[in-house]
């Protein structure tokens, strides 16, 4: 049970009152007892000396009368302690009193005194003895015994008086104790309530006390500390908010291990990066969470050397992610040794590096092939073929063909570059998809007629117009339909359809019955210079940049390019246009 300060002070005060009264009672009782006993002793000694003056015969005859006057039992003894006369009992029935303490003391000192409890009357008896002398010889003893009724009655009276006084004092003391305890604990109780509000996090304001003692100084000190704490807490919360914001907004993934080398904290970036493959990894060790040997080796190296470790690793089996990791100790955690691991995702950089490498290799290859042919035929003409007009004309036509291929390649590269750099000025306007597709079909149809390919345009006039750049939109459909005709066998079919979705977008699909491509290759369509069948594509005059241009132009129009295909069963290319699109720089 909780003991309040009020009860402690109140109880202590009452205990002090009881102890004080008890001590006073002891001293008063003993003092009264000693005083009364001393008075009785003096009376008995005086009576004893008076008895000594008379002769033994007179005393014996008047023993009872003297006993009544002195209120004491009188016993006469000879020198050997034999009782010769007694005021209350027959002398023959009494034993020898020579060895009684008071008699021995009287024999030695000339006066003896002893106090003993009488069980017969239930009270202390005071015994006084003096010797009876003849000249210097002791001829007998006179002993007076008096019950100390007066002492007991006086003590009982004093006890009653003290008890009454105690009750009166206790009544006043109770009131004073209550008032004093309340007066003393009231400011402390106020301080307690104030600090309790602070502990609960409630707004406590400022505490004011009307006292002028130490509690007032304590309240002032608490107010000062509260104000300082508020300022420090505000500063700490601001710093914490900055750190939390920085921690949450960092693109790098951050992971913190506790003293038991288990994952304690991860930031949202790392959580988003790993969620699909690893789920919740909090509370696990690195090996339990990632099952990655390289990561575990790097961590063990850090634990051994206590030096920061930086390393490149690959994690994930379903979707491998390339990461640069940095392992270091958490600053300011000298007591608890925590570890921080920073994950920098370089997967995209690695892909871009591969794309750049492939791009350089492809551009080099694409340029070298026609240049080699051009130089070869020019060397042949130089070496004498110019004299043969038929051969020279044939070689020049081949040179022009390769030069035109080089020109198309350069134009396509410039187009992609301008789109990516935002250097192409688009002129957006409301266009009818049916009119644009019909116009493009007229351009592609001669090639389709040569291969007996049927182009079925199913786009109706009921479709709402789209916002687009007419020339670039024509370029998109030309590239798609040109590919469809190139890679569709003779007597094949191309179907063009359009579907409106929920009033916010239109999807135009171009489906052919051509050779198709493997499903594993679909994801790479749209990459620069990527061809499924490189030899056949070059023979058909392609640069490998057509779909990449289409992809970039669709993005510039706020749309997207979707391709699905199965080997030997044809390909479906979908162009999705938003119905509301604004040209944003």
pLDDT in tens, 294-351: 888 888 888 888 888 888 888 877 677 888 888 888 876 555 678 888 888 887 887 7
Least reliable range by pLDDT among 43-57, 279-293, 315-329:
43-57
pLDDT at 486 over 60: yes
Helix (H, G, I), strand (E, B) or coil at 451: coil
pLDDT at 181 over 60: yes
> Would residue 81 be called left, alpha or beta, if left means φ above 0 and alpha means ψ between -120 and 50 degrees?
left
How many Å separate Cα 14 from the centre of its chain? 48
Going by pLDDT thresholds of 50, 70 and 90, the confidence category of residue 4 is low
Amino acid 421: pLDDT: 67
How many Å separate Cα 159 from the centre of its chain? 67
Distance CA 517, CA 519 (A): 6
Least reliable range by pLDDT among 44-53, 100-109, 427-436, 549-558:
44-53
Structure-block tokens of residue 190: 């106020």
Interhelix angle 5-53/149-200, rounded to 10 degrees, is: 170
387: CATH? 1.10.287.130
Q: Which residues of 371-386 are buried (b: 16+ CB within 10 A; e: fewer)?
A: eebbeebeeebeeebe
What proportion of the chain, given as a percentage, has pLDDT over 90? 0
Q: Are residues 566 and 452 in the same domain?
A: yes
Distance CA 585, CA 572 (A): 31
Distance CA 59, CA 62 (A): 5
| Among 287, 284, 305, residue whose Cα is nearest residue 296 | 287
Going by pLDDT thresholds of 50, 70 and 90, the confidence category of residue 127 is confident
Amino acid 161: pLDDT: 75
Higher pLDDT, 362 or 33: 33
Q: Are residues 458 and 529 in the same domain?
A: yes
**Position 197 in a domain:** no
Amino acid 537: pLDDT: 45
| Among 149, 92, 93, residue whose Cα is nearest residue 125 | 149
The number of distinct structural domains making up the chain is 5
Q: Are residues 367 and 407 in the same domain?
A: yes
278: CATH? 3.30.450.20
**What confidence tens digit (pLDDT) does each residue in 448-476 have?**
888 888 888 888 888 888 888 888 888 88
**Position 138 in a domain:** yes
In this structure, are strands 73-78 and 112-118 parallel, antiparallel, or unpaired?
Answer: unpaired
Least reliable range by pLDDT among 362-376, 469-483, 564-578:
362-376
Amino acid 583: pLDDT: 40
Going by pLDDT thresholds of 50, 70 and 90, the confidence category of residue 536 is very low
Amino acid 534: pLDDT: 47
Going by pLDDT thresholds of 50, 70 and 90, the confidence category of residue 59 is low
Amino acid 1: pLDDT: 34
Amino acid 420: pLDDT: 65
Torsion angle, CA of 222/223/226/231, rounded to 10 degrees?
-140
pLDDT at 540 over 50: no
Distance CA 273, CA 287 (A): 17
The DSSP symbol for 494 reads E
In this structure, are strands 454-457 and 493-501 parallel, antiparallel, or unpaired?
Answer: parallel
Rg (CA), the chain: 62
Structure-block tokens of residue 313: 């690793």
Amino acid 316: pLDDT: 73
Q: Are residues 115 and 230 in the same domain?
A: no
pLDDT at 82 over 50: yes
**Position 82 in a domain:** yes
Which residue is listed with tokens 């390339």?
322
Mean pLDDT of 535-547: 53
Choose the final residue of a domain: 119, 138, 155: 155
Mean pLDDT of 562-572: 83
Higher pLDDT, 271 or 522: 271
Q: Are residues 126 and 18 in the same domain?
A: yes
| Among 198, 260, 187, residue whose Cα is nearest residue 229 | 198
Amino acid 358: pLDDT: 65
Q: Are residues 261 and 307 in the same domain?
A: yes
Higher pLDDT, 60 or 433: 433
Q: Are residues 400 and 332 in the same domain?
A: no
Higher pLDDT, 148 or 535: 148
Helix (H, G, I), strand (E, B) or coil at 552: helix
Going by pLDDT thresholds of 50, 70 and 90, the confidence category of residue 531 is low
Q: Are residues 357 and 261 in the same domain?
A: no
Structure-block tokens of residue 155: 């003590």
| Among 431, 455, 585, residue whose Cα is nearest residue 506 | 431
Q: Are residues 449 and 534 in the same domain?
A: yes
Choose the final residue of a domain: 249, 270, 304: 249
Distance CA 17, CA 11 (A): 10
Structure-block tokens of residue 121: 């009357």
Q: Are residues 11 and 120 in the same domain?
A: yes
**Position 464 in a domain:** yes
Amino acid 5: pLDDT: 60
pLDDT at 218 over 60: yes
Going by pLDDT thresholds of 50, 70 and 90, the confidence category of residue 584 is very low
Structure-block tokens of residue 510: 């171009």
Amino acid 2: pLDDT: 42
Mean pLDDT of 498-512: 84
Higher pLDDT, 513 or 318: 513
What is the 3-state secondary structure of 288-351? HHHCCHHHHHHHHHHHHHCCCEEEEEEECCCCCEEEEEEEEECCCCCCCCCEEEEEEECHHHHH
Mean per-residue pLDDT of the chain: 77
> Would residue 390 be called left, alpha or beta, if left means φ above 0 and alpha means ψ between -120 and 50 degrees?
alpha
Choose the final residue of a domain: 249, 283, 305: 249
Amino acid 559: pLDDT: 87
Going by pLDDT thresholds of 50, 70 and 90, the confidence category of residue 284 is confident
The Cα-based distances of 375 to 364, 366, 370, 402, 556 in angstroms read 16, 15, 9, 10, 39
Q: Are residues 477 and 564 in the same domain?
A: yes
Distance CA 286, CA 282 (A): 10
Higher pLDDT, 267 or 364: 267
pLDDT at 272 over 80: no
pLDDT at 581 over 70: no
**Position 162 in a domain:** no
| Among 495, 493, 519, 497, residue whose Cα is nearest residue 506 | 497
Q: Name the β-bridge partners of 495.
A: 456, 511
463: CATH? 3.30.565.10
Amino acid 147: pLDDT: 79
pLDDT at 172 over 60: yes
Going by pLDDT thresholds of 50, 70 and 90, the confidence category of residue 121 is low
Host domain of residue 502: 425-578
Distance CA 221, CA 557 (A): 69
Interhelix angle 63-70/5-53, rounded to 10 degrees, is: 150
Mean pLDDT of 97-103: 87
Amino acid 489: pLDDT: 87
**Position 176 in a domain:** no
Mean pLDDT of 62-68: 73
**Position 180 in a domain:** no
Distance CA 153, CA 29 (A): 11
Q: Are residues 567 and 437 in the same domain?
A: yes
Q: Are 581 and 443 in contact (CB under 8 A)?
A: no
Amino acid 54: pLDDT: 53
**Position 456 in a domain:** yes
Helical spans, DSSP H, in 250-292: 268-278, 286-290
Amino acid 318: pLDDT: 67
Distance CA 358, CA 386 (A): 39
């Amino acid at each position: 049970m909780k003991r309040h300060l009020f009860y402690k002070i109140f109880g202590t005060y009452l205990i002090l009152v009881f102890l004080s009264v008890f001590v006073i009672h002891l001293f008063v009782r003993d003092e009264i007892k000693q005083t009364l006993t001393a008075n009785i002793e003096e009376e008995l000694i005086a009576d004893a000396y008076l008895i000594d003056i008379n002769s033994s015969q007179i005393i014996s005859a008047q023993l009872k009368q003297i006993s009544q006057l002195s209120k004491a039992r009188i016993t006469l003894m000879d020198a050997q302690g034999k009782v010769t006369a007694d005021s209350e009992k027959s002398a023959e029935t009494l034993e020898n009193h020579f060895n009684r303490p008071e008699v021995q003391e009287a024999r030695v000192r000339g006066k003896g005194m002893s106090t003993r409890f009488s069980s017969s009357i239930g009270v202390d008896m005071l015994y006084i003895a003096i010797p009876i002398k003849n000249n210097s010889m002791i001829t007998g003893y006179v002993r007076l015994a008096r019950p100390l009724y007066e002492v007991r009655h006086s003590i009982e009276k004093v006890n009653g008086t003290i008890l009454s006084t105690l009750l009166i004092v206790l009544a006043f003391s109770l009131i004073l104790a209550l008032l004093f305890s309340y007066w003393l604990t009231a400011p402390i109780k106020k301080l307690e309530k104030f600090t309790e509000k602070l502990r609960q996090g409630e707004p406590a304001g400022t505490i004011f006390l009307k006292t002028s003692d130490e509690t007032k100084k304590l309240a002032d000190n608490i107010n000062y500390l509260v104000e300082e704490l508020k300022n420090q807490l505000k500063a700490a919360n601001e710093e914490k908010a900055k750190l939390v914001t920085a921690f949450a907004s960092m693109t790098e993934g951050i992971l913190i291990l506790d003293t038991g080398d288990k994952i304690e904290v991860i930031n949202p970036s790392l959580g988003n990066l790993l969620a699909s493959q690893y789920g919740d990894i909090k509370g696990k060790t690195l090996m339990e969470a990632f099952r990655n040997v390289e990561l575990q080796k790097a961590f063990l190296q850090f634990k051994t050397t206590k030096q920061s470790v930086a390393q490149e690793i690959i994690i994930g089996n379903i979707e491998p992610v390339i990461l640069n990791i940095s392992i270091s100790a958490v600053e300011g955690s000298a007591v608890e040794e925590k570890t921080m691991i920073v994950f920098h995702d370089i997967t995209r950089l690695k892909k871009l590096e591969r794309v750049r490498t492939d791009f350089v290799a492809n551009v080099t290859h694409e340029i070298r092939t026609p240049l080699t042919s051009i130089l070869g035929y020019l060397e042949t003409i130089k070496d004498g073929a110019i004299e043969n007009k038929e051969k020279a004309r044939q070689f020049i036509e081949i040179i022009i063909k390769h030069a035109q291929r080089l020109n198309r390649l350069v134009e396509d590269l410039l187009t992609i570059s301008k789109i990516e750099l935002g250097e192409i000025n688009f002129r957006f306007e409301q266009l009818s998809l049916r009119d644009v597709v019909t116009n493009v079909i007229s351009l592609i149809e001669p090639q389709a007629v040569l291969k007996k390919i049927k182009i079925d345009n199913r786009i109706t006039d009921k479709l709402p117009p789209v916002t687009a750049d007419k020339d670039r939109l024509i370029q998109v459909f030309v590239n798609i339909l040109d590919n469809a005709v190139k890679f569709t066998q003779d007597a094949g079919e191309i179907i063009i359809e359009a579907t409106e979705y929920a009033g916010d977008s239109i999807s135009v699909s171009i489906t052919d019955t051509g050779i198709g491509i493997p499903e594993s290759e679909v994801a790479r369509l749209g990459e620069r210079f990527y061809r499924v069948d490189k030899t056949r594509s070059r023979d058909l005059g392609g640069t490998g940049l057509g779909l990449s241009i289409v992809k970039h132009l669709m993005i510039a129009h706020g749309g997207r390019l979707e391709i699905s295909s199965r080997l030997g069963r044809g390909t479906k290319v979908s162009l999705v246009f938003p119905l509301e699109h604004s040209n944003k720089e």
